[in-house]
Amino acid sequence: MRWSEFEVKPIPRNAKWHELPRGGIIDQPATALAYKTAGWRTFKPVWHEEKCRQCLLCWINCPDGTIVVDPEEGKMTGIDYDYCKGCGICAKVCPAGAIEMVKEK
């Protein structure tokens, strides 16, 4: 079964407290892919490819897995801004200064 085949059940806006799913329980698999979580980001990482040494420390340390790496070449190709929350860990661990945190517009 593919991730895209899972159905995400929306919660109605006017749901009563007793109709909400219990907190901390994952009642469906793969729901993280259905929700774009970058909406509260204040700063976003900007990758400067010309400075990048391809050490992939950003990829290893990103808590949300938003660093995009080409599996064939093993090189960073960008950042998935749909799920990046702007924590800045990637910029902090980059030894080359290839990732810069900039204010979100």
Q: With cut-offs at 50, 70 and 90, classify the pLDDT of residue 39.
A: confident
What pLDDT is stored for residue 1 in this prediction? Answer: 46
pTM value is 0.69
CATH of 3-103 among 3.30.70.20, 3.40.50.620, 3.30.70.370, 3.40.710.10: 3.30.70.20
- In this structure, the number of other CB atoms found within 10 A of the CB of residue 38 comes to 16
The torsion defined by the Cα of 33, 31, 58 and 104, in degrees rounded to 10, comes to 70
Contact yes or no for 19/13 (Cβ under 8 A): no
Predicted confidence (pLDDT) per residue in 81-94, tens digit:
999 999 999 999 99
Residue range 57-76: average pLDDT?
Answer: 95
What pLDDT is stored for residue 74 in this prediction? Answer: 94
Looking at the chain, the whole-number percentage of residues with pLDDT higher than 70 is 81
SS3 content of the chain, % helix, strand, coil (to 5): 25, 20, 55
The 8-class DSSP code of residue 22 comes to P
